[in-house]
Every structure is written in C-alpha cells, then in structure tokens.
C-alpha cells in the first residue's frame, strides 16, 4: 500500500468517524489490482476494500448526481481533473455543493488498462511511478514501462494539478505541473483533406458498438431524458446500424456537451473499442477557444457557457474557417 493510499484511507475513516459525513465515495478493490470500481463506503469496516492506485481512473463526479440526494453529507475524493467536472455539475444545478465534502487528492496520471495489456504486462501485484517510468511488480518479476506507453491518452496531455474545488486536499509529494499541447492531434487532423479526415473517422467510428458507455460515463451527459433514448430518434437501431448512424450519434453526443465538456477524457477511457472520442470534444473546445475566447468548462461554478451566451460581434459563420484554421 502506498503512503498516499494509506493517507487517503485514514482521511476517509476520520471523516466517517466525525459523524457529520454519512458516506464516502471512492474506489473499491476489484478482483485484480487493475479493476477497481467506484463505490460508496458507509462504515469504517467497509474501508478495508478501499483502494487508490494508478488504475483508479474513474471520475467520481457523476456518481454524486444521485448520491448527494441521500440523507446527510457525502464526502468524495476527486483528482484534479475530476474537480472540473464537479464544478460544472454544480453550475448546472445537478449537485448541491453544500451537501458534498470534497477532498482533493494527488494524481500522477492514470494507467490505461488496454495499453498495459498490450505491452504484455500481466499478473500485476503493485505498481509505482518512478520519474518518467512506471514500475510494475508482477508475478513474473519486475517490469518497467515508460509513462508514455501506458498512460491514458488524457493524462499524456494533463491539464494541470490544480484542484478547482476542494474543502481540503491530500497531497504528499508536490509535483510539477506539466501541461502539454492537447490540441496537437486535432491540428494534425485539420491539416488533412476532407477525404482523409472522413476516412480517419470512418475507420475509428465504424468500430463503435453503440454500447453508450461514452454517454453514460460522461459527467456532462446528465440529462434526465436523453435524445438517444427516444425510439423515434432514428438512431436507436443497433442491428442495422450504418455509417450514418455512427456518425450522427458521435456528432450529436459531442455537440450536446460542447461548451460544457471539461475534457476529463472519461469517454475515451471507457470506450471498449478504444475510439479516441476526446478528439471530437477537443475540436469543439479548440473552436470555442479560438472563436469566443479561451474557456475552460468547470473552472468556475457560476456563469454562462459559450453556447448559452453570445456577443453581438461574434464571428460570422462564413468567416469561421478563416479563424479556426488560421488561414
């Protein structure tokens, strides 16, 4: 057990013992080290199943939409990027801020299960970050992999180590704030011809099995009634799904969260087909930044989003490409 994990579990125990907080939302041990799942803990004994390691990628913010309604106060552990989603949900009145006690926790970037698996690393018993590497202790000995090879795509372009909301934090090691260019791949796609882009997306999206995991996990997708659940929507088909429906689903999904997407990258993390869905959201983020000014959803818990506001001098649609493509 790492020092950080120990401190977090201690924190959870103190909070539960205090009496005011009725439950803690965290991650529960799975069968293996790499399959923790989000869970609520109501008693100190139950905390023996609590786990926090680099496989705990799940963003717990969305779970609060239901949990905060229960009696008493709820405590939650949020990684820096999850805190943006939390703020955004508070802004959308989906979570009552005063019902939740937020504990910000340290994060060094989370691991992508499928990347670890592709590297042939199995039987993992523990793992730790060591500089630019991740060291895995496995049943078959020590294996070292570079961070770039095994980290989730979203963590390779981490948006910072700052919690935008936290009642207190559990951070042991102060670590550097590495922010890299998250739009690099978007720019690469923009530089292609329309034909190449279509081929790229067709290749990616045709893998889609319409499991709706990207929608269900997304903290911005919190509507009580979803357009995709409407049998008349024309996109409910699965058996005779065609290119159009895949495109439509993903265009609409990304459009519906535009201006509200905090770029938490959960969509790409949960995609069983490993479609880089965050590239769709990032296009909207990039366009909003260049057309309507830099905007980070979730940074503030108040105010309007770019798509629910306007200025009289907004760019005319016919000039959009001149601005967004810098041509």
Residue 198 in the binding site for another protein (CB under 8 A): yes
State the minimum distance, in angstroms, from the CB of residue 209 to another protein.
Answer: 19
Number of residues that bind another protein (CB under 8 A): 47
Which listed residue (132, 318, 326, 327) binds another protein by CB under 8 A?
Answer: 318
Tell me which stretch binds another protein (CB under 8 A): 58-66, 133-141, 184-192, 211-219: 184-192
Does residue 315 belong to the site contacting another protein (CB under 8 A)?
yes
Shortest separation between residue 77's beta carbon and another protein, angstroms: 34
Gap between the Cα atoms of 46 and 237, Å rounded: 42
Q: Which stretch binds another protein (CB under 8 A): 75-83, 113-121, 163-171, 189-197?
A: 189-197
Residue 156 makes contact with another protein by CB under 8 A? no
Choose between 169 and 233: whose C-beta lies nearer to another protein: 233
Annotate the chain with three-state secondary structure: CCHHHHHHHHHHHHHHHHCCEEEEEEEECCCCCCCCEEEEECCCHHHHHECCCCCCCCCCHHHHHHHCCCCCEEEEEECHHHHHHHHHHHHCCCCCHHHEEEEEECCCCCECHHHHHHCCCCCEEEEEEECCEEEEEECCEEEEEEHHHHECHHHHCCCCCCCCCCCEEECCCCCCCCCCCCCHHHHHHHCCCHHHHHHHHHHHHCCCCCCCHHHHHCCCCCCCCCHHHCHHHCCCCCCCCCHHHHHHHHHHHHHHHCCCCCCCCHHHHHCCCCCCCHHHHHHHHHHHHHHHCCCCCCCCCCCCCHHHCCCCCCCCHHHHHHHHCCC
Beta bridge partners, 190, equal none
Q: How far is the CB of 257 from another protein (least distance, A)?
A: 12
320 lies in the site for another protein, by CB under 8 A? yes
- Name residues contacting another protein, limited to 247-306 (CB under 8 A): 247-248, 251-252, 254-255, 258, 280, 283-284, 287-288, 291-292, 306
Specify the residue, 12 or 186, whose C-beta has the smaller distance to another protein: 186
Determine if 314 is a binding residue for another protein (CB under 8 A): yes
Stretch that binds another protein, among 46-54, 96-104, 295-303, 307-315 (CB under 8 A): 307-315
Backbone angles phi, psi at 137, to 5 degrees: -95, 120
The nearer residue to another protein, 167 or 242, going by C-beta atoms, is: 242
The residue among 173 and 308 lying less far from another protein, judged by its C-beta, is 308
Closest approach of Cβ 232 to another protein, in Å? 11
244 binds another protein (CB under 8 A): yes
Residue closer to another protein (CB basis): 2 or 247: 247
Residues 202 and 9: their CA atoms lie apart, in Å, by 45
- Per CB under 8 A, does 165 bind another protein? no
Is the CB of residue 103 less than 8 Å from the CB of residue 14? no
Residues in touch with another protein (CB under 8 A)? 186, 189-190, 194-202, 227, 233-234, 240, 242-245, 247-248, 251-252, 254-255, 258, 280, 283-284, 287-288, 291-292, 306-308, 310, 312, 314-318, 320-321, 324
């Amino acid at each position: 057990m790492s020092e950080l994990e120990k401190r977090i579990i201690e924190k959870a125990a103190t909070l539960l013992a205090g009496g005011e907080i009725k439950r803690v939302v965290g991650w529960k041990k799975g069968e293996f080290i790499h399959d923790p799942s989000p869970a609520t803990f109501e008693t100190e004994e139950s905390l023996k199943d609590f786990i926090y390691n680099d496989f705990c990628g799940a963003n717990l913010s969305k779970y609060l939409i239901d949990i905060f309604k229960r009696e008493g106060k709820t405590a939650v552990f949020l990684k820096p990027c999850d805190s943006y989603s939390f703020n955004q949900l508070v802004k959308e009145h989906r979570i009552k801020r005063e019902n939740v006690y937020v504990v910000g926790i340290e994060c060094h970037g989370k691991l992508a299960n499928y990347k670890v698996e592709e590297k042939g690393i199995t039987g993992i018993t523990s793992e730790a970050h060591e500089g630019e590497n991740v060291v895995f202790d496995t049943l078959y000995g020590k294996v070292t992999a570079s961070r770039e090879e095994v980290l989730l795509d979203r963590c390779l372009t981490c948006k910072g180590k700052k919690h935008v909301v936290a009642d207190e934090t559990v951070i042991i090691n102060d670590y550097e704030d590495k922010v890299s260019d998250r739009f690099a791949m978007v720019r690469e796609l923009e530089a292609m011809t329309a034909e190449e882009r279509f081929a790229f997306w067709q290749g990616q999206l045709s893998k889609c099995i319409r499991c709706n995991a990207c929608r269900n996990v997304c903290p911005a997708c919190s509507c009580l009634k979803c357009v995709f659940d409407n049998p008349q929507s024309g996109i409910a088909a699965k058996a005779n799904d065609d290119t159009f429906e895949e495109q439509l689903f993903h265009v609409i999904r990304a459009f519906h969260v535009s201006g509200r997407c905090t770029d938490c990258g959960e969509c790409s993390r949960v995609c069983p087909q490993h479609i880089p869905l965050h590239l769709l959201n990032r296009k909207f983020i990039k366009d909003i930044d260049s057309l309507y000014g830099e905007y980070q959803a979730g940074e503030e818990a108040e105010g309007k989003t770019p798509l629910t506001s306007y200025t009289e001098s907004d760019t005319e649609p016919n000039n959009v490409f001149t601005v967004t493509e810098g041509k």
